[in-house]
Amino acid sequence: MSSTFVPMAETFAVETWWVQIIKGVIIALIGFTLIPAAVTVERKLLGRFQHRYGPNRAGPYGTLQAGADILKLLGKENFRPAASQGFLFYLAPILAVVAAVATFAIVPLGEVVTIFGQPVGLYGIDVGIGPLYVFALGSIAFYGLVLGGFASGSKYSYLGAMRAAAQLISYEVAMGLSLVGVIMITGDLSLVTMVEYQQEHLWFVLLQPVGFLIFVIAAMAETNRAPFDLVEADSEIVAGYMTEYGGGGFASFYAAEYLNMIIAGAIATTVFLGGWAIPFWPDAPAALGPFVVIFKTFLFVFFFVWIRATLPRLRYDQLMSFGWKILLPLATLNALITAVVVVAI
Amino acid sequence: MPHPEHDSYFIQRGPEPGGTGGVGRAFGETLRGLKTTFNRLVEGVDTVQYPEEKIPVYPRFRGRHRLHRFEDTGLEKCVGCSLCAAACPADCIRVVAAENTPDHRVSGGERFAAVYEINMSRCIFCGYCELACPFDAITMGNDFELADYNRSDLIFTKEMLLAEPLERTPLRAEGE
């Protein structure tokens, strides 16, 4: 009897191995470049929402402010509280960043193109379990939060970590269920296939409006954005799990947070807004793909900032009842109805 | 609407929170909030970029003091009477008077201020010195940028107060 190797997840690579390494580095760098961009966009926009300029001193229109902040943070002393647990305390921010960057690898920025005679897919990896990969790494990133809060040996950090645990578990369920409808329609878990399906048919934002809404709301909760920022509610628990972090540790958590926001926007773009597809231009050049994806992602960043400028933070019981009593039943109903319709057609 | 029997009023209450209707209302109110903040975004910026851009002050603005001379003779108006120092609630003015002599004539009166110092780090800019002065020798100017690195630099001497100030503060007419 011959044993067949069944992989846990299939990855579809069109490149040779060395192209994959170069591609991986470039995609990680793109991710790290988008972080200061998102920070700048958020701070400038938030300023405009409040009738002020936002940062406008460092560099032209304040564009160098985020870079200056990162440099400042990295130049600071790396101290830790006496009550903290050293290994975990330093592991936590690394875990958060690694998980965030690894999640970014799955975002499809474009289709397969030929660069210098080599076929290159404009994405980190195309795994056969797309959204599951996102959720799996999201859970690892959440270890970073909880470990950081736990290892700090501070009450505020601990409170933040406990809140993170409760909130992320609650909203991950609704987030996962909101994607089930899309997965059922596509019949595939690969994000690249999802985009191709949307190019041929209709964008999922029109096919699955409820799922889209639930996904965006749950994504805001998953990335600890206002109004779901109880995890780091600065008026209540200082900065939550990252209270005791300064310098590089804080910078890492901060970067991971913004990268998670970008990833949430990018996944929403991929799954619901047609990824690299440009409406009414089916044969757009493939090189435009990454720009289209980043543009659509920043539409989501704009929306997240808009929401932050508008809504006050939820109370803890409101957060829980909203997640469990409204989002989860809605997502389940959406999945059920989609299942019935998919089977019927 | 007044209550028919008691001395009280019926107040119409808002809808109860929660429930299916509550979700709908919350959603609508969220959209309304988003519209409100978006209008703020469109309105533009109210910030005045201060060091580059200054809001002009009115002539009645009480800024840094100035001492004055007679325009025709060039003599100082201050006669060293110390009324300003007496009126000063913060006790920040120090005047030491000296006699004018025919060959050393400084002021229009009999005496002049040999020392005239205002400690700007104590001054509360109330303008009582201006009111107390019988010769309009001291007035409040319109300069408000007085920050300095040393406290001792904030003690303004007579020469500094007499000197024509730098045009640092834009002025606007009353009612403008």
Share of chain A above pLDDT 90, in %: 2
- Report the b/e string of A174-197 with b at 16+ CB within 10 A: bbbbbbbbbbebbeebbbbbbbbb
How many Cβ pairs closer than 8 A exist between chain A and B?
36
B32 CB neighbour count, 10 Å cutoff:
10
Average pLDDT over residues A6-14: 61
Instruction: Compute chain A's Rg from CA coordinates.
Output: 20
pLDDT tens for chain B, 176 residues: list them. 666 777 777 778 877 766 677 778 878 888 998 999 888 888 888 888 888 888 888 888 888 888 888 888 888 888 888 899 999 999 999 999 888 888 888 888 888 888 899 998 899 999 899 999 988 889 888 888 888 898 888 898 888 888 877 777 777 776 66
Q: Which helix (H) or strand (E) holds B116?
A: strand B111-119
User: Which pLDDT value is given to residue A1?
Assistant: 45
Cβ of B44 under 8 Å from any chain A Cβ?
Answer: yes
Assigned domain for B102 exists:
yes
What is the C-alpha separation between A107 and A211, in angstroms, rounded?
Answer: 19
Write out residues 46-65 of B within 8 Å (CB-CB) of A.
Answer: 46-47, 49
In chain A, the residue whose alpha carbon lies closest to the alpha carbon of B40 is A49
From the list A48, A307, A326, the residue facing B41 with the nearest CB is: A48
The C-alpha angle with vertex B123 and arms to B121 and B127, in degrees rounded to 5, equals 155
Cβ of A51 under 8 Å from any chain B Cβ?
Answer: yes
Q: Which residues contact A258 (CB under 8 A, 6 or more apart)?
A: A35, A38, A39, A42
Asked if A45's CB is within 8 angstroms of B45's CB, the reply is no
DSSP lists the bridge partners of residue B111 as B99
What is the C-alpha separation between A151 and A126, in angstroms, rounded?
Answer: 35
What is the C-alpha separation between A39 and B63, in angstroms, rounded?
Answer: 41
From the list A51, A306, A310, the residue facing B43 with the nearest CB is: A51
Assigned domain for B146 exists:
yes
Q: Which residue has the tokens 């990162």?
A: A70
User: Which pLDDT value is given to residue A316?
Assistant: 83
Pairing of strands B138-140, B93-99: unpaired
Structure-block tokens of residue B91: 């006790």
B72 CA to chain A: closest CA distance, Å? Answer: 48
Residues from chain A contacting residue B44 (CB–CB below 8 Å): 48, 51
Residues from chain A contacting residue B53 (CB–CB below 8 Å): none
A8 or B69, higher pLDDT: B69
Which residues constitute the domain of residue B142? Answer: 65-162
Closest listed residue to residue A275, CA positions, set A182, A139, A145, A166: A182
**Long-range CB contacts (within 8 A, 24+) of A181-189:** A181/A208, A181/A211, A181/A334, A181/A335, A181/A338, A181/A339, A182/A207, A182/A208, A182/A211, A182/A271, A182/A272, A183/A131, A184/A335, A184/A338, A184/A339, A184/A342, A185/A338, A185/A342, A188/A128, A189/A128, A189/A129, A189/A130, A189/A131, A189/A132
Cβ of A315 under 8 Å from any chain B Cβ?
Answer: no
A52 CA to chain B: closest CA distance, Å? Answer: 5
Domain of B154: which CATH number? Answer: 3.30.70.3270
* pLDDT tens-digit map of A221-259: 888 887 888 877 777 888 778 888 888 888 888 888 888
What is the C-alpha separation between A180 and A211, in angstroms, rounded?
Answer: 9
Residues from chain A contacting residue B22 (CB–CB below 8 Å): none
Assigned domain for B80 exists:
yes
A219 CA to chain B: closest CA distance, Å? Answer: 17
The C-alpha angle with vertex B31 and arms to B27 and B36, in degrees rounded to 5, equals 145
Assigned domain for B57 exists:
no
Asked if A52's CB is within 8 angstroms of B41's CB, the reply is no
Asked if B44's CB is within 8 angstroms of A51's CB, the reply is yes
Closest listed residue to residue A79, CA positions, set A239, A250, A238: A250
DSSP lists the bridge partners of residue B104 as B101
Per-domain residue ranges of chain A: 17-344
* Range of weakest confidence among A89-98, A108-117, A316-325, B40-49: A108-117
What is the separation, in whole angstroms, between the first and last Cα of chain B?
A: 48
Residues from chain B contacting residue A48 (CB–CB below 8 Å): 40-41, 44-45
pLDDT band for A161, please (50, 70, 90 cuts): confident
Residues from chain A contacting residue B39 (CB–CB below 8 Å): none
User: Which pLDDT value is given to residue B149?
Assistant: 92
User: Which pLDDT value is given to residue B176?
Assistant: 62
Asked if B38's CB is within 8 angstroms of A51's CB, the reply is no
pLDDT band for A344, please (50, 70, 90 cuts): confident
Asked if A50's CB is within 8 angstroms of B40's CB, the reply is yes
Structure-block tokens of residue A110: 């474009």
What is the C-alpha separation between B28 and B22, in angstroms, rounded?
Answer: 10
Residues from chain A contacting residue B41 (CB–CB below 8 Å): 45, 48-49
* Range of weakest confidence among A187-201, A298-312, B73-87: A187-201
Burial of A112 (0-12, 13-18, 19+ CB in 10 A): middle
User: Which pLDDT value is given to residue A62?
Assistant: 81
Interface test with B, best of A228, A310, A320 (most B CBs within 10 A): A310
pLDDT band for A326, please (50, 70, 90 cuts): confident
What is the C-alpha separation between A178 and B84, in angstroms, rounded?
Answer: 77
User: Which pLDDT value is given to residue B89?
Assistant: 92
A335 CA to chain B: closest CA distance, Å? Answer: 20
pLDDT band for A193, please (50, 70, 90 cuts): confident
Q: Cβ(A104)–Cβ(A98) under 8 Å?
A: no
Cβ of A333 under 8 Å from any chain B Cβ?
Answer: no
In chain A, the residue whose alpha carbon lies closest to the alpha carbon of B48 is A52
Average pLDDT over residues A18-24: 80
pLDDT over 70 (residue A12):
no
From the list B36, B40, B49, the residue facing A51 with the nearest CB is: B40
Cβ of B41 under 8 Å from any chain A Cβ?
Answer: yes
The number of distinct structural domains making up chain B is 1
What is the separation, in whole angstroms, between the first and last Cα of chain A?
A: 41
Asked if A48's CB is within 8 angstroms of B37's CB, the reply is no
What is the C-alpha separation between A191 and A275, in angstroms, rounded?
Answer: 9
Q: What is the rounded average pLDDT for all residues in chain A?
A: 83
Output the 3-class SS for A287-309.
HHHHHHHHHHHHHHHHHHHHHHH
What is the C-alpha separation between A179 and A297, in angstroms, rounded?
Answer: 18
In chain A, the residue whose alpha carbon lies closest to the alpha carbon of B52 is A57
Assigned domain for B56 exists:
no
Asked if B23's CB is within 8 angstroms of A306's CB, the reply is no
Q: Cβ(A107)–Cβ(A266) under 8 Å?
A: yes
CA distances (Å), A222 to each of A35, A183, A188, in order?
A: 17, 20, 24
What is the C-alpha separation between B87 and B105, in angstroms, rounded?
Answer: 27
pLDDT band for A10, please (50, 70, 90 cuts): low
Average pLDDT over residues A80-101: 85
**DSSP 8-state secondary structure symbol assigned to residue B118:** E
A47 CA to chain B: closest CA distance, Å? Answer: 9
